Amino acid sequence: MMKDIATPARTREILEKYGFHFKKSLGQNFLIDTNILHNIVAAAELTPDSGVIEVGPGIGALTEQVAKKAKKVVSFEIDQRLLPVLKETLAPYPHAEIIHSDVLKADLKETIEEKFEQGQDLMVVANLPYYVTTPILMKLLEEKLPIRGIVVMIQAEVAERISAKPGTKEYGSLSIAAQFYAKAEKMMTVPASVFVPKPKVDSAVLRLTIREEPPVQVQDEEFFFKVFHSSFANRRKTLLNNLIHNLASKEQKPEVEKALEQAGIDGRRRGETLSMEEFAVLSDALLEQLG
């Protein structure tokens, strides 16, 4: 029985064998703690019939643990140098497949159709590179894929922002965007010491459970997203000022004021004090006034 990949000794042995050097530009930090991997996999609540999409498998530490629980694993790896490594480390798991591609450019709906069974329980499980965490998460959510949820290891600060509640300093447009599509829970904090190389900040495991229906109904989803992004454009500005400068124009100030009045929201408030429900009411009122 081979030792788990995610131990300091085995990781070092693999890296030395392949003469692998970390690329800073790819945000490569490999996990060397099996317990944390077990916790990530447990949070995904996989069954022997589950399918898993992974992003950035590295040398296969998390892939291995997922493959022990799931029926099929498809991992996207952008770094060509890791392909021979993964071929060896994942040899005991023929149901784990590596796609050499940038997940941000991939057609995920097509991948799911080709690689998984129709109606199969699907989860995304990944240790995401810090520098592309938000674009990857938003792609996974916005494309409305047939997945049950997402369990990811990300920068602790980003996990706080995604799961934040209104009125907190972490709460912003990312909180609303993610929570519109999914229920967000921070599962655990992970110290920098369990990675090689050691990142400068701590990480966290975040679980996003996809909602069947958004928590609010709006007339125009795209416009709703524009409204709250505009409201957070400058956190020091009031809601009214942010909306005039980033969504409408100075000439449309009366219309913006009318919409705020219609929505029963004081324009002197700051964006971070508004709940998603208030943004939904405001969005519909602004749509009506600005046309």
208 carries a ligand binding annotation: no
Residue 91 CA: distances (Å) to CA of 33, 60, 64, 68, 127 = 21, 10, 10, 13, 21
49 carries a ligand binding annotation: no
The CA dihedral of 99, 101, 106, 109, to the nearest 10 degrees, is: 10
Instruction: Provide the β-strand partners of residue 188.
Output: 205
Residue 46 in tokens: 């996989």
Cis peptide before 197 (omega within 30 of 0): yes
31 carries a ligand binding annotation: yes
On whether the CB atoms of residues 80 and 102 are closer than 8 A, the answer is: no
Q: Which amino acid is at 228?
A: F
39 carries a ligand binding annotation: no
Q: Which of 187, 174, 184, 280 is nearest to 229 (CA)?
A: 174
| Cα–Cα distance, 193 to 77 (Å, whole number) | 24
Write down the residue that tokens 């938000």 correspond to: 134
51 carries a ligand binding annotation: no
220 carries a ligand binding annotation: no
Residue 159 CA: distances (Å) to CA of 74, 99, 137, 180, 258 = 24, 27, 11, 15, 36
What are the binding residues for S-adenosyl-L-methionine?
Answer: 29, 31, 56, 77, 102, 127
What are the binding residues?
Answer: 29, 31, 56, 77, 102, 127
